[in-house]
């Protein structure tokens, strides 16, 4: 296993920079997820690491060696493709053994490694079959077994779960995570599904338009998004973003929303008069059916019962918010509710750049910092 390093990596197609000056370090044994919407450059970055794309600028290091000009077969990587790419004309056994055969391992070693990979993926019974005789989920396992059998330095995965149906995807997610933890493999995993990213990665690198916007552990990315894009991309439902004015003349600071006023803590005083956006997650908004101090009135538009909780879309003033309530709280559409927002759960964003505003609290967004340049702001894009 080995560490991976991207240094100022750049890849253009025609005039468009699919990967635009990316720096990223991945420690030995770490599981990093590249997350972002379609076209953000995550797959391209992965393929640059694999050697399937030639970089137009920058350096790629694997295990301390400069791998930038090496062909894929010399980088000591293994890859699981989105379509699995399991060879149809070979039996499962030969598929899993392929990488080892290319390395000219002895028959005995091959047999042993194939056997252990197969048992880890629970495909021992299929070794003698052809891929066309297997289901999609089984083929996916073959693809993973093939990759881990080679005991490569770095494991690359390009949206391996996206072709599975929802239930199978959930099961495989857990199984894959357990497996990779056991193997302690350096893994780089690409996905557009933020649920997958949150649940699997040690760290998540959120990408947008060819740049890395935030790199952090899942909880930090969730609670302290670096900008409006990340906040809107991560989480189901996405973070609510509301235009607000912080007023702090004399008394305790308050936030003026189009639908009402919220009390804030003292640490919000420096934000007074600035052009800010209030970011708050659905589950951080307390919904009450009777009015109270410091609450904002809102009108219920849609109620979506989700079993474990209800997702409400409410309108307050000019803004629409998503809020969640316990399953027994079922306000009728067009009825009024009152929203209570804890000031410490608010994530303030700069209305101009879209980036998070560091206030008095010490939390810094990330370790590896490329955030100084703000990417596209604007409406939170729908996660694809």
What three-state secondary structure class fits 116?
Answer: helix
Q: Whose CA is closest to 64, among 28, 23, 103?
A: 28
Residue 198 CB-half CA count within 13 A: 15
Residue 160, classified by CB atoms within 10 Å of its CB into exposed (0-12), middle (13-18) or buried (19+), is: buried
- Measured distance CA(313)–CA(333) in Å, rounded: 9
Applying CB under 8 A, among 81, 151, 202, 245 the residue interacting with other proteins is 81
Asked if 131 touches other proteins (CB under 8 A), the answer is no
Asked if 208 touches other proteins (CB under 8 A), the answer is no
Residues between 147 and 176 that touch other proteins (CB under 8 A): 150, 156
DSSP label at residue 131: G
Least separation, in Å, of the C-beta of 141 and other proteins? 15
Q: Compute CA distances 338 → 159, 285, 298, whole Å.
A: 41, 10, 6
| Order of strands across the sheet that contains 4-13 | 16-26, 4-13, 57-62, 65-66
- Measured distance CA(192)–CA(351) in Å, rounded: 26
Q: Compute CA distances 254 → 251, 264, 350, whole Å.
A: 9, 5, 17
Residues between 260 and 299 that touch other proteins (CB under 8 A): none
Stretch that binds other proteins, among 23-31, 45-53, 197-205, 298-306 (CB under 8 A): 45-53
Which of residues 48 and 200 has its CB atom nearest to other proteins in the complex? 48
Asked if 70 touches other proteins (CB under 8 A), the answer is no
DSSP 18-33: EEEEEEEEE-TT-EEE
Applying CB under 8 A, among 50, 262, 264, 280 the residue interacting with other proteins is 50
Asked if 85 touches other proteins (CB under 8 A), the answer is yes
Stretch that binds other proteins, among 58-66, 85-93, 114-122, 160-168 (CB under 8 A): 85-93
Least separation, in Å, of the C-beta of 30 and other proteins? 20
Which of residues 149 and 295 has its CB atom nearest to other proteins in the complex? 149
Stretch that binds other proteins, among 78-86, 134-142, 349-357, 358-366 (CB under 8 A): 78-86
Asked if 146 touches other proteins (CB under 8 A), the answer is yes
- Residue numbers at the binding site for other proteins (CB under 8 A): 13-16, 18, 39, 43-44, 50-54, 71-73, 77-79, 81-83, 85, 87-89, 98-99, 101-103, 146, 150, 156
């Amino acid at each position: 296993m080995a560490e991976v390093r991207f240094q100022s990596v750049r890849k253009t197609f025609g005039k468009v920079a699919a990967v635009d000056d990316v720096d990223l370090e991945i420690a030995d044994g770490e599981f990093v997820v590249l997350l972002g919407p379609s076209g953000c450059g995550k797959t391209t970055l992965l393929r640059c690491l694999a050697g399937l794309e030639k970089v137009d600028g920058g350096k790629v290091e694997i295990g301390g060696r400069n791998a930038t000009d090496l062909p894929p077969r010399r980088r000591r990587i293994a890859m699981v493709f989105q379509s699995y790419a399991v060879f149809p004309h070979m039996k499962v056994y030969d598929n899993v053994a392929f990488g080892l055969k290319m390395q000219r391992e002895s028959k005995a070693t091959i047999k042993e490694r194939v056997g252990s990979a197969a048992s880890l993926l629970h495909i021992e019974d299929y070794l003698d079959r052809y891929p066309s005789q297997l289901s999609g989920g089984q083929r996916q396992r073959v693809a993973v077994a093939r990759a881990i059998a080679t005991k490569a330095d770095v494991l690359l995965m390009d949206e391996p779960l996206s072709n599975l149906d929802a239930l199978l995807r959930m099961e495989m997610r857990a199984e894959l995570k357990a497996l990779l933890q056991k193997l302690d493999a350096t893994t780089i995993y690409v996905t557009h599904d933020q649920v997958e990213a949150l649940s699997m990665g040690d760290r998540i690198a959120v990408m947008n338009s060819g740049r890395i916007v935030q790199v952090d552990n899942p909880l930090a990315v969730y609670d302290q998004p670096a900008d409006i894009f990340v906040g809107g991309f991560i989480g189901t439902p996405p973070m609510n973003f509301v235009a607000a004015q912080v007023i702090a003349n004399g008394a305790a600071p308050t936030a003026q929303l189009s639908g009402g006023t919220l009390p804030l803590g003292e640490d919000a005083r420096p934000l007074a008069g600035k052009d800010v956006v209030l970011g708050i997650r659905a589950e951080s908004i307390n919904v009450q059916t009777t009015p109270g101090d410091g609450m904002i009135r809102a009108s219920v538009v849609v109620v979506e019962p989700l079993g474990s909780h209800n997702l409400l879309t409410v309108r307050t003033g000019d803004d629409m918010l998503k809020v969640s309530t316990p399953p027994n709280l079922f306000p009728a559409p067009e009825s009024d509710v009152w929203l209570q927002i804890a000031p410490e759960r608010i994530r303030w964003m700069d209305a101009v750049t879209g980036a998070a505003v560091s206030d008095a609290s010490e939390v810094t967004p990330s370790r590896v910092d490329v955030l100084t340049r703000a990417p596209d702001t604007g409406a939170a894009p729908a996660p694809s």
